[in-house]
Amino acid sequence: MLRFVARRLVSLLVSLAVASCVIFVFVEVVPGDPAAYMLGLNAQEDTLNALREQLGLNGTLLERYLNWVGGMLRGDFGTSYTYRTPVSEMIGERMWISLPLAIYALTLSTLIAFPAGIWAASQRGSLVDVLVMGFTQLGVAIPNFWFAMLMVLLFAINLRWFSAGGFAGWEAGFGPALKSLTLPAIALALPQASILARVMRSSLLDTLGEDYIRTARAKGLSRRQALWRHALRNALIPVLTIIGLQFSFLMAGAIIIENVFYLPGLGRLVFQSIAARDLIVVESVVMLLVFAVIVVNFLVDVAYALVDPRLRVRA
């Protein structure tokens, strides 16, 4: 088991290294002088030079890369050109909206999907199954930002249960903060929950058809017992994969949803930075999100090994 984790850890580090290279090279291929690009046409020569200095554009490619990575490792993401503040501070502030939102949505999605998927699979062909399949079919097809707009229309404008946007702030207390994240989280979670419920259902149906379920039934287990004791844990393996993938979709989806609700999260930051051509910020946020995705996939791999003893040896 330890060896398995160690191996995955090595591949995690390699992925991070390669991903950082890709992002770095990408920003490097900006045609012409990045400083001139960022400042636009009417830039003064001395401002350009100052920015070049600040971007570390005066060293070799390798030096610049190492500077960038080394800085990030120390928590120094550079200084935003537009806001003249350290990028790490800007990200730090906004992360406390985006990360809780993604986790909130993932939790909701799992809490909805597991019961729905299990229920539908255990009563295949019943009314419950048909309803779950019908609703999830819709849930998969609905664009989440449109769903968010409809919810604002209903819950914020007509019913006035929630405010239409903005963030109460954690300093206003846990309850109000969570409340202002609730509609965005639901908007993010529902399409993901639909996918997850379908995967859960079909994976469970697959395992229910396995030989060892028949063996368990021959031992005297009821259909229900066989499902809970034997099928469920085996069915989790593909479900875990999807949960891992969904995290990256949630992080990305959050960027869009934050726009609907005017949440001052990483998403807003990215779009403001693109508009302001603040490449340092864009680069840093993208790296951070990719970092989160890679770490979550590492955790999913470890979870695999916990579920499936065969993986512990093979790796």
Partner 1 sequence: MSRSLVIGAVLSAVFVLAALVSFVWTPYDVLGLDIPNKLKEPSAAHWLGTDHFGRDIFSMIMVGARTSIAVAIVAVGIGMLLGVPLGLAAAARTGTLLDEVIMRGNDLVFAFPSLLIAIMITAVFGASAVNAIIAIGIFNIPVFARLVRGAALSLWTRDYVLAARVSGKGAARISLEHILPNVTNLLIVQGTIQFSLGILAEAGLSYVGLGAQPPTPSWGRMLAESQTMFSFKPHLAVFPGLAILLTVLGLNLLGDGLRDALDPRLRRAKR
Partner 2 sequence: MSLLRVENLDVSIHGTPVLKGVSLALEAGEILGVIGESGSGKSMTALAILQLLPEGARAAGRIALSGHDMLALDEAALCGLRGNEVGMVFQEPMTALNPIQTIGAQVAETIRIHEDVSRKEALARAAQALRRCELPQERFPLSRYPHELSGGQRQRVVIAMAIALQPKLLIADEPTTALDVTTQAEILTLLKRLAREDGMGLMLISHDLAVVADMADRIVIMRQGEVVESGACPAIFGQLTHPYSKALLAASDHQPERAGHVFEAPLLQVKNVVRDYALPRAGLFGGARKFRAVKGVSFDIRRGESLGLVGESGCGKSTLTRAVLGLEEVQGGEILLDGAPVFSGKRPNRAVRRKMHVVFQDPYGSFNPRWKVGRLVAEPFHLLDDAPEGRAAAIAEALEKVGLSGEDAEKYIHEFSGGQRQRIAIARALIIKPELIILDEAVSALDVSIRAQILDLLADLGTRFGLTYLFISHDLSVVRNVTDRCLVMQAGEIVEEGATEDVFERPRHDYTKQLIAAVPQLPSK
Q: What x/- string results for residues 160 through 199 when contact with partner 2 is judged by CB under 8 A? A: ----------------------------------------
CA 128, distance to chain mean position in Å, is 30
126 binds partner 2 (CB under 8 A): no
Backbone angles phi, psi at 79, to 5 degrees: -120, 135
172 binds partner 1 (CB under 8 A): no
3-state secondary structure of 308: coil
**306, interface contact from partner 2, partner 1, none, CB < 5-8 Å by kind:** none
CA distances from 188 to 85, 153, 276 (A): 31, 16, 27
- Residue 179 contacts residue 199 (beta carbons within 8 Å): no
Q: What is the total residue count of the chain?
A: 315
Which tokens go with 212? 């060892």
Which tokens go with 91? 């990200």
Which C-beta is closer to partner 1: that of 177 or that of 279? 279
The single residue listed with the structure tokens 């960027």 is: 255
Positions 225 through 254 that interact with partner 2 (CB under 8 A): 225, 229-230, 233-234
214 binds partner 2 (CB under 8 A): yes
- Identify the CA nearest to 109 among candidates 182, 195, 233, 204: 195
99 binds partner 1 (CB under 8 A): no
For the bound state, the minimum distance from the C-beta of residue 237 to partner 2, rounded and expressed in Å, comes to 9
- Work out the angle between the directed axes of helices 2-28 and 279-307 (0-180°, nearest 10): 160
Helices then strands, counting H and E runs in the chain, come out as 14, 0
CA 130, distance to chain mean position in Å, is 30
For the bound state, the minimum distance from the C-beta of residue 203 to partner 2, rounded and expressed in Å, comes to 14
- Residue 281 contacts residue 269 (beta carbons within 8 Å): yes
- Residue 227 contacts residue 208 (beta carbons within 8 Å): yes
Which tokens go with 68? 């960038």
Beta partners for 86? Answer: 79
308 binds partner 2 (CB under 8 A): yes
**32, interface contact from partner 2, partner 1, none, CB < 5-8 Å by kind:** none
260 binds partner 1 (CB under 8 A): yes
Which C-beta is closer to partner 1: that of 170 or that of 262? 262
122 binds partner 1 (CB under 8 A): no
308 binds partner 1 (CB under 8 A): no
- Binding-site size for partner 1 (CB under 8 A) equals 54
Interface residue list for partner 1 (CB under 8 A): 14-15, 18-19, 22-23, 26-27, 29-30, 124-125, 137-138, 140-146, 149-150, 152-153, 157, 164, 202, 205-206, 209, 245, 248-249, 251-253, 255-256, 259-260, 270-271, 273-274, 277, 279, 282, 286, 289-290, 293-294, 297
Interface residue list for partner 2 (CB under 8 A): 210-212, 214-223, 225, 229-230, 233-234, 307-310, 313
